[in-house]
Every structure is written in structure tokens, then in C-alpha cells.
Chain A
Amino acid sequence: MRGLLTFGLSCLLAAPAAALEAPHYADDTAGSGIHHVYDGGWEYFVGGGLATLDCDSDGRPDLYMAGGTNPATLYRNTSTVGGPLTFQALADPVTDLTDVIGAYPLDVDNDGHQDLMVLRVGENHLLRGRGGCTFEKANDAWAFDGGTAWSTAFTARWGDGDAWPTIAVGNYVDRNAPGAPFGTCHDNRLWHPAPAGGGFAQPQVLAPGYCSLSALFSDWNRDGVPDLRLTNDRQYYRGGQEQLWRVPANGPATAFTRRDGWRKLTIWGMGIASHDVNDDGYPDYFLTSMGDNKLRVLTKGAARPSYGDEAGQRGMTAHRPYTGGSVQPSTAWHSEFVDVNNDGFMDLFIAKGNVEAMPDFAADDPNNLLLGHPDGRFTEVAPQAGIVTFAKARGASLADFNLDGLPDLVVVNRKVPAEVWRNVGRGTAQAPIPMGNWLHLKLRQDGANRDAVGAWVEVRIGTRTLRHEVTVGGGHASGRSGWLHFGTGVAERARVRVQWPGGEWGPWIRLYTNQFALITRGQEHARVWLPPED
């Protein structure tokens, strides 16, 4: 009896682990309705992205997944609130395109429906959303020449007062150039709105191109004008580097140079994730690469685009697999900052996978989930989260697909099926347990740029301010629109304000957490949104 009691006591008194907690992810792939493989020859060693968008305006994020030589597929989200992740494939010749590298959602024509930029090996398609998850090709109607290049990067911004976006497409190797692939990077393209409206002007060539694998318009110095960051793959360029382009509303774009303060950096640039990691009010940029991932932070203030690196000191290098036995460097692709455990500290997901069979790099290369800590460090928790696989991951999306406040995860893999992971918080697939408090926000303004691309959202909880820049682009061939997620930790209330495109600050708006809310420019209050089951 005494022995049993002692045993009982020792069980009962077991101390909990002292650390921030990783969320648990349940593997919903088998029942998700998503059976999707990204495949193809060497053109499809890169890419494998997906767009996350609400194509039927029901509040749930839907998916459009690149397939390489397999058809891309549009998946309507049929998940119930808090339930398993389920999707329904929607067949349509307009979207069932082959040769797709990746896709990005945005509302090009300001009609309230999300449109899609589909990046391809060959002609890129701009698909106009018509509602109800239907699309039509709009290249001709919008005077967009999809070209014939191997396109691997996309980003967009709205210039101040512009009715139409400025978009940029990054291209990879020019396969037709003599000596390809080495030293034959294709140049990139930039489209301003047509002066007459209703479409795009003739594209501007951004040269030299250095085999861009991700592009992002971001207001790095908060001057109100997002500039164009390109991350480039040193595997194929000669004499190249990372690039930042100054893109005026009128006139040619020009690359920032050493004279401007731009420092040369050469990496196997694969993807861009942005977030104000060091809390200085300016975005920082996590650049994925092969063994040398970077966190680029401003070092000389907003006057000069001089960036240093803090990945090492913050534990974010993720340069080698943390499990699987390989000591060779990792290959990183899509990355995304999301607070996966709603503790109020931003976390980072990184998709990993060998290009194909590169012997100098890890073959078994699991994805990373780096938990952000209050002191600015990041630590690996993918094993605790239960998301370790050795598939060759490429694109990914972290969105709340079942509208329960916890960011879920979908990963597109090369040659093997995509993975669908449901965030079940502290619980299990059968019994999820929520973590932290959260807010899902959407922005809206009248007229052009309805979704307020270029806005900054500030969420004030206690003495801390969480910041988010609304952008289109980045990642690796993968983009996301829709709800902006903020974990607020134990804060039950938050004050939210928006710096709208053009610089105008909105009022502080009071919101209770664990809600969805729409903030509309010019209005003093947010509108709460109820998921269908609530």
C-alpha cells in the first residue's frame, strides 16, 4: 500500500517542463481530400508553392497548389470550426494548369474577389477571381504578357493613389541562353498600372537578373514606399548578389548599390519571410538558403539599406538537420513567421528538402518549427510539434484552416504527397486544447487596394506592440491573403490601429481577443465576424 501511494504521489507531483510550449499538430493528410504531388524534371527542382486565399468569400482559407508537370489544383476548404481539415478539389480547365511553379493571391481589379498570379515554366497566367472559386484568364483583358520565361517569384504593391497594383515577376534560369544554366539568369519584369487604368502598362525590364527565387515589396525604411527585395540563387548567377530595387511611381527602377549603403550578400536565396524580429519598428527579413539562412536586420537606421545578420545569435540559422542523422547542410525553401502557439511571440516555420539528390547537402532534411522566445531567441520544436517528416518540402502555408484560432500547416512536397497538419494546441487530434488568446484581422478600404496592401497593423497588448506589414509576395512560390493572425498570449483585450497605405493612422480600436474582426478605413470600430458554426 505504501509503495503504491508513493508511486501515486510521485506521478502526481511530477513537475511540468519549464519552457514555452510547442503546439501539437495532428496529421490530417489522409482524410483531408488533398492528394497532391508536385513533380517534374529539373525545372521543377524549384517551386512547388501554393496560394492560400478565400476564393468563395466564406471566411475559410482555400488553396491553390502547384503541381509542376502534374496539374495545379484548386481546393475548396470544407473544414468545420475546430474540426479536421477537409478540402474538396475543384476541377476547372482555367485552374488545372500544368507547368505551375507557384501562385500568389491578390485582388488586382479591386472587385472584392481574390485573383491569382500563377507562375509557370512558360506563360504566366493572371486569373481573375469571379467569386464562388471560379476564375477566368485575364492576361489579355489586363494587358499582361505572361511571357515564356521560367518564373519563380512574384510580388505586388499599390502605389499611392494608384487604382491598379504594381507587380514584379522574378525569373530563374534562361534555358535558351548559350551556356545555360550557369551564368544565364533571366532578367526580371516590373509592371506599373496603365495610365489609362484597367490594366498594366508595358513591362519594365529589371536587369541584371540573378535567378530570383523570391520577391517582396516591403517598406523596409517605413518611408511609405515599399521597395523591391529579391533573393537570388547563387547556384546559377555569376557576379550576382541579393538585390533591393528602388521602384518610383514613375521612371525606371534602380537597384540600391554599395554607395547607397547596400552590402553585397551572396547566398542560395530561396525564400523571404519578413517580420520585425528585433522590435525596432522596421521589418527584418529571413532569407532561406542552403546551409546559410540569414536574418537581415537594419544596422544603420532607416536612411541606408545596410543590413547585418542576427540569425546566429538568435538561434535561427537552422543550417543542419536536427534529426535524421545527417550532418550535412540543410536546404531551406519556404519560410513564414507565424505565432503558432499564440503566446504573443512570433515563431518561424521553414520548409526543407534536398534539391533532388545533391550529395553535399542533407538528404533527410526535416522542416523546422522555431519557437520564438521573449528574449529574442528561437529554438527548434518540430519534434515536439510532431511534424517531422523527411519529404522534400518546398512551399507551405500556415493559416487557420478550421477557424479555431490556431494556425494549421499545409506543406507541398516534391515527388511525394502534400502534407496537411492540424494544429490541435496542447491536445490531441481527438481532443484539441486551445493555446493562448488570438485575434484574426482583416483590413478593408474603399476603392483601389481594398485589402490595404502596404498597411501596417499594430496590436497593443500590455506594454508590447505586435506589428505586421501587409504584403503580397515572399515565401517560396507561395503567398497568402485573408485573415492576419496575431497571438496575444494571456491578453484578453487588445488595442489595434492601422497605418493605412499613404501613411494615415487610424484610431486605436478596442477588441476582445479570440475573435475575427474587420477593420475598415475611416471607421472607429471594428466589425466582428462569426464563423459559420458560431
Chain B
Amino acid sequence: MRPTLPLLLILAALAIPARAAGLGDERVLGEPLSAAQAAALPPDALVTRGRDLFLAKFTSLDGAGRPAATGAIVPTAAQPDVLPLFFRTAGADSNACRGCHNDPEPGGAGEFVANAFVSEGFQDADFDTVDPQFSNERGTPALHGSGLVELLAREMTRDLRAQRRAAAARARTEGRDVTVDLSSKGVSFGALTVGADGFVDLSALDGVDQDLIVRPFSQKGVFVSLRQFTVNALNAHHGMQAAERFGARYTDADDFDGDGVSNELAEGDVTALVAFQATLPVPAQAGDLGRDTFESLGCGACHVPALPLESAVFTEPNPFNPAGNLRAAEAPVVALPLDVSGLRRDDRGRVLVPLFSDLKRHRIADAERPHYANELLSQRFVDRDIFLTPRLWGVGGTAPYGHRGDLTTLHEAIVHHGGEATESRRAYEALAEPDRRRVIAFLQSLRFGGSAP
């Protein structure tokens, strides 16, 4: 039997090792994987390759470090060799993804020592990242279940944009202003008004960006996709520059960071990293003890226990990726069915994703409780006291808490809630001690693997 071309592609892709394997070879990266090759790989093989890359401790021979580039998400040149190859604040600050995402397993959260310094990083890499006006310190979140999270956000974006599109069509047809309430999966994102001329009043938007893209990643909710976050982090933390953003197409250079290594990470390898993260298992819920008290406080208004998902097939790339991240029309689509076997479904057959978040941004600090506004830099158009509702699934096993990872107990994390959460926090504070403990016990039960502490 003669092999068919698809079979050849698969065989060829399988033959490409993720890790270098030569005797005495100190590279950890093997041959690069193109986007087409990634699409040709069986899902399990792609995820395995992604896991290998997630665990890999990149070396200078792979391109680790960025002597002539900053950690900015937009390719930005730095004066070469001013900083050492690794630098705890300005980065590169790690040579492996699991260096921080390791608790309780690769892809998990990180302890306070694994905090990262995030900044726009556009100019002086040294100064910007140690001055709090230019840098914020962030804890390491767990990545489990993030494939489902991204799918939820995509569906929400589609819903909001469809509502906007319908309003615009009505406004043009009827020749008048049309106001539409924006909501998806039971979460309200405010309203917008479209004029007959197509111009939009966005002043009543709530918790979502002006382009109506629900961005579910980072503690500020400013990244569209695992891919965008991955490309950012590879550069910022490891100095590993993905060709799709730092390569010749946008920088006119195949070694933008000047470390002597060209095209450090190929599109298919980024896809593999995304595949690994997207398929990390969903944190489970152990029991219902204290759940009724948790719900009675109104916490679930933002920490929505579950959002319904139409399709659990993760496709890569994300259709809403901006340029600089592989986009939908640029490569064959990779489809990864996610394991949702342990999750309930609603009466419409939708998977109920128990993330305990509304994937929306809220004001969470005020003068009475300012802790969550404990930084000076407003990041990527999001004010200092506004954050994405953190997902609570797995929270029982991912201490410390807060976006800076500087709260050691769940109780502390709760009592620092201000802003829009003031009422719920006060209700919690008004509880008798045994009832408070029931709430804490419920949160502790939200763990990887579902076992209670």
C-alpha cells in the first residue's frame, strides 16, 4: 500500500523531536514544528510535545535570554548587554514555564517566590521593572481548565458582537439610535448605543473592552488567548521569541533579540504549548459543604459557579487573535476535544464549566479596602483597582492569594474585597465564626483532583 500524503505529513511531523537528543547537545529544543505540522499531529502527540516544551529548561543555545530586546509585548529594542542574561525583575526571569507554574504539578500555580514583575517594558528595562510606577508584581495562576476558559470567552465575544451587529443593522434600517443590553451566558456587560450613522456610544460598557472581545487571561483580563499569553510570556520570562511576533514579518529580523539564535520558536511549537495548557484537566469540586453559605453572601454574582459552554472542542488559533499571534486564516486549524466527562450539562446539553468566574472585570478596591489597588501602574487600559474576576476552581490548592500573591489565607483574600464586592464582603464579615469557616471550607474544597484538604 502506498502511503497517502496526509499520512506522510503525520509521519513526518511525528519524526520531529521536540527536544534535542544529540550526545552532549545542550539545546533542549529539537527541530522546529511548523503550523501545518502541528495540525498534522495526532492530538495526543501535540499535547505531549507541548508538555515537553513546557517542562524544558531553555538554554542560551535555544535562544534563552534577550540581550537586545525588552520584555514588552510589542517588539522593542533594548541597549544590548546592559543587563545580565537573567534578571529577576526585568527578566528574563526564568528558563522554564514550569519554573513558576509548578504547584501542585506542571501547569499549576506558583508560590510567592514565583511572582513575576509585569510592565509595559517599553523603554528602560532596568528602571521600568523595579520602579512601581512602571511595574506590578503578580502571582502565578494555575492554568488548569484554561482551554475551556478560552472557549467560553470566544463564545461570549461572539454573542456580544452579534448583539452589536444586530443593533447596528436596526439603527441603520430604522434611522435612529438603538440601545442594546449586552449579555452572554447570563453575564451582563452593560449596554451600547448605535446611531443610524454607525457610530457607537460605548460609555455604558461594563467590564469588557471597547472591541467587545472578552479577554480571559491575566489577572487584569487583557489577553485574548492562551497563545497571546504564551507568546508574551516566552519573551518576557525566558527571552524565547516566537517567530510569529518577533520574527521577520514584523521586525525585519530573524534574531530580533540579538542572542545569535534565529526564529527561536516556530508557530507549531507555540501551538503545542497552547495544546498542553488547553488540555490541562479541570479542577474539580470536592463537596457542597458551605456552598449554601457561599451563595447566600452573593459571592456568586461575580464568582459565577458555572458558565455554559456550547462546544468543548478547542480549536487553535483563536479567531480573535490580534496580529503578532497566529491567526485563524494563517494556518490549518488544530482541533482538540477537551475532556469534560466529569462536568454536568444543562438542559440544553451545554457543558457547565465550574470556573467560579464571570470572565468580566470589576472594580474590587476602594478607600475602605484599598489592598487590591496596591500598585501604581495602570496596565493596558485597565485601572489599578479593576481586575478580572479570578477563577476560584482550584483555589483550595493554589495559595497564596490575591493578584500579588501576598495574602496567605482565604479569609484575608475575602476581607480585602472592596468596590463592587463590598456588600458580599460585609455579609461575610457579619457571619458568625462557624459560618465563616463553612465558607472557607467550601473554597478549600475547590482543588485539583477534587480531594478535600
Contacts and interface: CB of A to CB of B under 8 A. Distances in A.
Contact of B252 (A12, A16, A374, A461): A374
B165 A20 contact: no
Contacts of B245: 490
A461 B247 CA distance: 18
A219 interface: no
Interface in B1-50: 3, 5, 8-9, 11-13, 15-16, 31-32, 34, 36-37
Interface in A1-51: 1, 4-5, 8-9, 12-13, 15-21
A530 B329 contact: no
B281 interface: no
Contacts of A492: 73, 322, 324
A512 B12 contact: no
B210 A512 contact: yes
B229 interface: no
Contact of B200 (A12, A13, A529): A529
A269 B211 CA distance: 44
Nearest to A460: B122
Interface string A474-512: 000000000000000111110000000000000000111
B89 to A, nearest CB: 19
B250 A5 contact: no
A13 B250 contact: no
A534 interface: yes
Contacts of A436: 250, 323
A12 B12 contact: yes
B343 interface: no
Contacts of B209: 512
A351 to B, nearest CB: 26
A426 to B, nearest CB: 7
B326 to A, nearest CB: 11
B8 A461 contact: no
Interface in A432-447: 432-437
B8 A5 contact: yes
A514 interface: yes
Interface residues of B, number: 58
A17 to B, nearest CB: 7
Contacts of A462: 72, 74-76, 122
A490 B74 contact: yes
B122 A463 contact: yes
B165 to A, nearest CB: 6
B201 interface: yes
Interface string B73-117: 111100000000000000000000000000000000000000000
B203 interface: yes
Nearest to B10: A8
B335 interface: no
Interface string B296-316: 000000000000000000000
A9 B12 contact: yes
Nearest to A377: B252
A431 B329 contact: yes
A8 B11 contact: yes
A17 B243 CA distance: 12
A463 B128 CA distance: 13
B197 interface: yes
Contact of B249 (A4, A20, A531): A20
Contact of B201 (A15, A433, A527): A527
A461 B74 contact: yes
A434 B76 contact: no
Given A4-B8, A19-B248, A489 B324 contact: yes
B123 A463 contact: yes
Given A426-B330, A463-B76, A530 B250 contact: no
Contacts of A515: 210-211
Contact of B74 (A1, A491, A527): A491
A89 interface: no
A513 B320 CA distance: 12
DSSP class of A's interface residues: helix, strand, loop or mixed? loop
Contact of A57 (B13, B197, B262, B322): B197
B323 A489 contact: yes
B133 interface: no
Contacts of B280: none
Contacts of B211: 512, 514-515, 528
Given A5-B8, A461-B74, A462-B74, A527 B199 contact: yes
Contacts of B322: 437, 490, 492, 513-514
A433 B328 CA distance: 9
B324 A490 contact: yes
A532 interface: yes
A38 to B, nearest CB: 34
A432 B198 CA distance: 25
Nearest to B327: A434
Contacts of A426: 330
Contact of A5 (B12, B202, B210, B381): B12
A159 interface: no
A518 interface: yes
A490 B250 contact: yes
A435 B381 contact: no
B11 A12 contact: no
A75 to B, nearest CB: 21
Contacts of B254: 18
B158 interface: no
Contacts of A374: 251-252
Given A436-B323, A511-B210, A534-B168, A518 B250 contact: no
Most chain B Cβ neighbours within 10 Å, of A16, A344, A462, A490: A490
Contact of B381 (A463, A493, A530): A493
A375 interface: yes
Contacts of B251: 374
Given A8-B12, A21-B249, A435-B323, A13 B164 contact: no
Contacts of A152: none
Interface of B: 3, 5, 8-9, 11-13, 15-16, 31-32, 34, 36-37, 72-76, 122-123, 161, 164-165, 168, 172, 194, 197-203, 209-211, 213, 243, 245, 247-254, 262-263, 322-324, 327, 329-330, 380-381
Given A436-B323, A530-B199, 19 more contacts: A8-B5, A8-B9, A13-B31, A13-B32, A13-B34, A18-B247, A21-B249, A374-B252, A437-B323, A462-B74, A462-B76, A489-B324, A490-B74, A492-B73, A518-B199, A529-B198, A530-B165, A530-B200, A534-B164
20 contacts: A4-B8, A12-B12, A13-B32, A16-B247, A18-B253, A18-B254, A20-B252, A426-B330, A434-B323, A434-B327, A436-B323, A437-B322, A437-B324, A489-B250, A490-B324, A493-B380, A513-B322, A515-B211, A529-B198, A534-B161
